[in-house]
Structure formats: C-alpha cells, structure tokens
Amino acid sequence: MKKILVTGGAGFLGSHLCEKLLSQGNEVVCLDNYFTGRKKNITHLLENPFFELVRHDVAFPYFIEVDEIYNLACPASPIHYQYNPIKTIKTSVMGAINMLGLAKRIRAKILQTSTSEVYGDPTIHPQPEEYWGNVNPIGKRSCYDEGKRCAETLFFDYFYQNNVRIKVVRIFNTYGPNMHPEDGRVVSNFIMQALQNKDITIYGEGNQSRSFCYCDDLIRGLISMMNTEDDVIGPINIGNPEEFTIKALAEMIIDITGSSSKIVYLPQVEDDPMQRQPVIEKAKTILNWEPTVNLRDGLVKTIAYFENELKSF
Ligand code: NAD
Ligand code: UDP
C-alpha cells in the first residue's frame, strides 16, 4: 500500500483520481481549498478509513509523509481562473514550489498536471510535445498558461538541481461526471443548456476545434505516468486525438439530448485558441496508453450525470 497526496482532490479530475487510487488499495490524502471543487465529489469516500480530507491552500507550504504526490490544485475553467488571475498564478507557481519542496524533503515522486494551454494558440497542428507554443504573456489567459509553463520549468529545475523524481503530463480538454454544473467549460455549459432547452452559447463562429477526452481514460493515463520507472518522464500529452469543431460538439449534444435548444453566436473570447489536437505517440509508446471512449459514448455518460445534478440544482 502506498500513501498518496492528491492536491485539488475535490475537483472534477481529482475526485476521480482519489477514487481510483483508493480502489487500487492505496491510502489517499486529498488536499483542497474548495475554490472550484466540492465536498460532494468525495463525500462517498469519507467512510473509507484509508481516505483523509485536508482543507489547505497549496500556495502555502504543507508538510506530510507520502510516497507520491499528484499536483492537480488549480482552477481549470477560464471563467474561474480569470476571476482572480493573481491568485491563479500564485496557485500554479507557489503550489509547484511548495509541492516540489515537499517531494524533495520526503523523497516522493511527484506528478504535475500541466495543460495543452502551454501551446497557446498553436501555429502547428496537431501539437507534439516538442512544440514550444504560442502564448500571449500578458493576455486574459496568461495567468493560467504562463503559470502552468512556469510550473513545468520548476519541475524540470527541481530534477536537474535536486534529483526530484518528476512526471509532467499535458492534459488536453477532458470532460465527464463530477464537473460542476456551473464550471463554465464548453461541455458542461452545452449539456446544462441543452437539458434545460436554453440557448446554446457558441463564442465566435464555432469553427474553433478541441479534442475531447473522457475522464476515465485520462485518469488511467495519469496513473500509468506515475508508475513509470524512470526518474524523469515527460512532458507527455494525454488527450483524445479525435478533433471536433465547437459547432459540431453543440450539434452532437442537441442530438443526444433531443433538446429544443437553439444555437446562438456570441462574441469570440480573447486569445481563444483556434485549434487543438494532441499528438499522442509518446503516451502510446512510453505509457502503453491510448483513449478508449469516443466522444458520443462519453457524452451519453456525462449527460446522465448532469440530468441527475439538475434534480438538486
Ligand atoms: P477543477 O477546477 O474541477 O479542479 C481543481 C481543484 O483544485 C478544485 O477542487 C479546486 O478547489 C482546487 N484548487 C484550486 N486552487 C487551489 C489552491 N490554491 N489550493 C488548493 N486547492 C485548490 O479542474 P479539473 O478539470 O479537475 O483540473 C484539475 C487539474 O488538471 C488542474 O490543475 C488543471 O489545470 C489540469 N487540467 C485539466 C484539464 C481538463 O480539461 N479538465 C485540462 C488541462 C489541465
Ligand atoms: N466555448 C463556447 N461556449 C461556451 C464555453 C466555451 O463556445 O459556453 C468555446 C470556447 O470559446 C473555446 C472552446 O469552447 O473555443 C473550449 O472552451 P473551454 O472553456 O471548455 O476550454 P479551453 O480549451 O478554451 O480552455
């Protein structure tokens, strides 16, 4: 049995990760400040004697003895990370420093959940890990993008300088149950709108693309990454390379839900990346990982979750 710290464990991905690690026989400490996460995501784990919940902000040091650290603490939805941009960058940068310092002291392995946002509005398509990106350093998304880029730098410097064992994954748009109904990202917005027969809000013309990964596939990728033998692994893209325009996503959600919602076109948001698709050759060869859930099947499961959420909304 390993003892594992999951920061951001009450969030969308963190809650799935805590559940999976417990089911594999580990002891899990979930750390969260509940900025975008919710206790509701993990209440069903509280009866498990091997699960522990800690309210803490990763921007401040935290001390514990564990074997592994998964660092997920950071708001991921643009509306939430832009709400308090200084706090967002502190969370990424100070959070990385605090967790890397902890990993160094207790000789734990540490995994960083970086993001496809490090590629910015990419000028090459699809995006391999070797691409350095096209990020505006002073725009609305910079607090998140540059915070995550700096965190990657810190991870590699702690390896170069202090031999900390690091794993860095770049996650592409992931969706599924446990997303907050008011998360603000595209999949949850469109499903909530469709289920209530409200207008579906496309920002811009809807020709921008994303590649959507179902959460269970993603979590399998994170755990495979942590279990790699080498001291330093990454960055490795984890995502589903099936690419869709935002308009096609809206149409698929309307089709599955049978909604009477109309699509409305709102102004494009600042610095919105026009296309995004991962190259996943590294994940395939190094992690023996590839996604198994296609968008339609993943949406069906996610819609069932949101239908249930709406009953108590
Ligand atoms: P989420 O917003 O649901 O979860 C983030 C969690 O971190 C929340 O529980 C929140 O309360 C917590 N948190 C935020 N600031 C904190 C702080 N200062 N101290 C402690 N806890 C804090 O988002 P998610 O989709 O589950 O994302 C998890 C991680 O994966 C994030 O780091 C995100 O950047 C990364 N990621 C996610 C995606 C995706 O598509 N879901 C894509 C790329 C990267
Ligand atoms: N988007 C949209 N309507 C919404 C929410 C998002 O058209 O209600 C678009 C957004 O402009 C972007 C894409 O959907 O082009 C994905 O947005 P999201 O916030 O989910 O993630 P991002 O990949 O931009 O971080």
For ligand 1, atom 28, the nearest C-alpha belongs to: 72
**How do residues 248-288 score in pLDDT, each as one tens digit?**
999 999 999 999 999 999 999 999 999 999 999 999 999 99
Catalytic residue among 119, 144, 158, 214: 144
Question: Does residue 310 register a pLDDT over 90?
Answer: yes
Query: Is 144 in the active site?
Result: yes
Is 80 exceeded by the pLDDT of residue 218? yes
Check residue 124 and give its pLDDT.
97
CA 30 to chain CA centroid, Å, is 16
How much is the average pLDDT of 38-45? Answer: 97
Q: Which atom of ligand 1 is nearest to the CA of 73?
A: 7
What is the average pLDDT value for the chain, to the nearest integer?
Answer: 97
Residue 148 and residue 89: Cα distance in Å, rounded?
8
Reported as a single tens digit per residue, the pLDDT across 69-86 is: 999 999 999 999 999 999
Closest CA to 176 of 310, 5, 287, 11: 11
Helix (H) or strand (E) holding 7: strand 3-7
Q: Which of 5, 30, 36, 41 to mutate to test the pocket of ligand 1 (most atoms within 8 A of CB)?
A: 36
Separation of alpha carbons 97 and 224, rounded Å: 24
68 touches ligand 1 (CB under 6 Å): no
CA distance 202 to 249: 10
pLDDT digits (tens, 9 = 90+) for 114-155: 999 999 999 999 999 999 999 999 999 999 999 999 999 999
Ligand 1 pocket member 14 (CB < 6 A): yes
Alpha carbon nearest to ligand 2 atom 17, residue = 186
Compute the average pLDDT of residues 166-184: 98
Task: Pick the atom of ligand 1 nearest to 91's CA.
Answer: 18
Q: Euclidean distance between the first and final Cα of the chain, in Å?
A: 38
Do residues 200 and 250 make contact, with C-beta atoms less than 8 angstroms apart?
yes
At 27, which helix (H) or strand (E)?
strand 27-32
pLDDT at 313 over 90: no
Question: What pLDDT, on a 0 to 100 scale, did the predictor assign at position 312?
Answer: 82
95-116 average pLDDT score: 98
Q: What percent of the chain has pLDDT over 70?
A: 100
Q: Quick one: pLDDT at residue 231?
A: 84
Q: What is the mean pLDDT of residues 29-48?
A: 97
Say whether pTM exceeds 0.75. Answer: yes
pLDDT at 225 over 80: yes
Distance CA 293, CA 128 (A): 22
The H-assigned helical ranges of 43-139 are: 78-81, 85-106
Residues 278, 282: Cα–Cα separation, whole Å? 10
Cβ 186 under 6 angstroms from ligand 1: no
CB–CB of 62/95 below 8 Å? no
Query: How many angstroms separate the alpha carbon of residue 270 from the centre of ligand 2?
Result: 11
